[in-house]
Amino acid sequence: MTASSALLTDRYELTMVDAAIQSGRADRDCMFEAFARRLPDGRRYGVVAGSGRLIELIKQFRFTDAEITWLQDNAVVRQPTLDWLANYSFSGDIWGYREGELYFPGSPLLLVEGTFAEGVILETLILSVLNYDTSVASAAARMVSVALDRPIAEMGSRRTNEHAAVAAARAAYIAGFAATSNMEAGRTWGIPTMGTAAHSFTLLHDSEEEAFRAQVAAFGPETTLLVDTYNIENGIALAVEVAGLELGSIRIDSGDLPTVVAAARRQLDALGAVNTKITVTSDLDEYSIAALSGSPVDAFGVGTSVVTGSGAPAAGLVYKLVAHTDDNGDWVSVAKTSASKASVGGRKNAARRLDATGIAREEIVILGDGPAGEPEAIDAGSERHLLVPFITAGVVDELHTGIIGTTRARDHHAAVVTELPVQAFRLGHGEAVIPTVYR
């Protein structure tokens, strides 16, 4: 049986439900919205990720006897709320930007419509998933954009917790990474896996030659040999001697990479290993990858930087109540007005305006009846719909989940990233590449 995700939440989500049940407002119809007030410092666009994982976790958001007993033993909420939680199953509607989609400040990335109690209790889960996965995908997309079509492997499992490692591998893959070192990510999400040996394998053997021969015997000459355990020049010469001219690749994990890579390419070519590729690792990020744009690197491996969002470990998304019904059943817009934390109230739809060449020019947020209404408000000739249904009347659209959902998200990102203006790919600090307008 799948474990419950119900206690992956903050206490105040439960106490708000408790107080709302007592006040009689828990069943008031509401719309909640997840959005970013701003992008991480210097970013010009963001990439949505985590939606497929999220809706699977919402499907598992159930309070079993174990959760109810724990809440009761710790006096978190009162008995009427315990009874409500025991029967909880989200029965409302959730729309969102597709995974892999681009977003900008104010983009309504996720809209949750249901009762107050049903929607508010999901806040922590929604933000914990979307903030992390979106942060990783946004960082990964920047790395892909400067890699110039050369593959990047995600290898950051040792730099984050064991569950985040799997989520990070998925988010990076959606944003264009080619593979992951994480086996669980490969099994769960269908991501290609890669990896051969680390320095410890070389150090285990009595000599570098013995280690190389053992690896080639196990995996064939097409393997990737790590050549910088002792001396890179000697390691390359030995790698070619052992594997022959069929040597698949060498990996370099240290040194002044532009200089070292250029020398490695010259040496490989001089030895006749002209088809042997060069993979580099060594704490890479988007800036160091860009610095290698003119170097003869064939592939990259990125760890710490991608799983930590390359300086932005959370995307800065928030989840706010933007509308509720009044006692007559009419919708009322609500919004925070706090300094620096104001939100835009109202049920929303969203579109992106493209110019005649297919380049994005505006993010359009439409105030009105929400994603279920106002189709006429979007110009099909020049504006692209952005919101799709994830959950309808409590039923999950399985096309967004599992391996299929992950593959579809990756394909969607590859398509929509071509809509970005060229200025979006600059790594220097700047504002969002297109404005967000309300109408």
pLDDT digits (tens, 9 = 90+) for 125-178: 999 999 999 999 999 999 999 999 999 999 999 999 999 999 999 999 999 999
Residue 192 pLDDT grade (very low, low, confident, very high; cuts 50, 70, 90): very high
**What was the pLDDT predicted at 379?**
75
| Total length of the chain | 439
Q: What is the pLDDT at residue 353? A: 96
Question: What's the pLDDT at 122?
Answer: 97
Predicted local confidence at residue 374, as pLDDT: 59
pLDDT of the residue at 377: 67
Q: How confident is the model at residue 339 (pLDDT cuts 50, 70, 90)?
A: confident
Instruction: At 321, list the tokens.
Output: 């109540």
Grouping H, G, I as helix, E, B as strand and the rest as coil, residue 383 is strand
Alpha-carbon gap, residue 169 to 136, rounded angstroms: 9
CA torsion sign, 301 to 307 to 308 to 309?
A: positive
Pairing state between β 93-97 and 29-36? unpaired
Q: Taking the model in full, what pTM does it have?
A: 0.95
CB contact at 8 A, 165 and 183: no
How much is the pLDDT for 31? 98
Look at residue 1 in the predicted model and tell me its pLDDT: 39
Q: Grade residue 324 by pLDDT with cuts at 50, 70 and 90.
A: very high
Residue 319: beta bridge partners? 34
Q: Quick check: 15 and 9 in contact, CB under 8 A?
A: no
- Largest distance between two CA atoms of the chain: 82
Mean pLDDT rounded to a whole number for the chain: 96
* DSSP-assigned letter for residue 425: G
Which pLDDT score is estimated for 2?
55
In 28-93, alpha helices (H):
51-59, 65-73, 79-86
From residue 424, how far is each of 44, 306, 361, 417 by CA, in Å?
6, 19, 12, 10
Confidence label for 260 from pLDDT (cuts 50, 70 and 90): very high
Q: 412 with 100: CB under 8 angstroms?
A: yes
Q: Look at residue 249 and tell me whether its pLDDT is greater than 70.
A: yes
From the centroid of its chain, how far is CA 405?
13
Task: Give the phi and the psi of residue 245 in degrees, each rounded to 5.
Answer: -75, -5
- Which pLDDT tens digit goes with each residue over 12-70? 999 999 999 999 999 999 999 999 999 999 899 999 999 999 999 999 999 999 999 99
Is 90 exceeded by the pLDDT of residue 74? yes
pLDDT band at 393 (very low <50, low <70, confident <90, very high): very high
Report whether 102 contacts 360 (CB < 8 A). yes
CA distance 174 to 189: 11
Q: Map out the domains of the chain with their CATH numbers.
A: 11-137+312-345+386-438 (3.20.140.10), 147-309 (3.20.20.70)
Task: Tell me what percent of the residues of the chain surpass a pLDDT of 90.
Answer: 93
Q: Where are the alpha helices (DSSP H) in 193-303?
A: 199-204, 208-219, 232-243, 257-270, 286-291
Q: How far apart, in whole angstroms, are the C-alpha atoms of residue 423 and residue 439?
A: 26
Cα–Cα dist 164/131, whole Å: 12
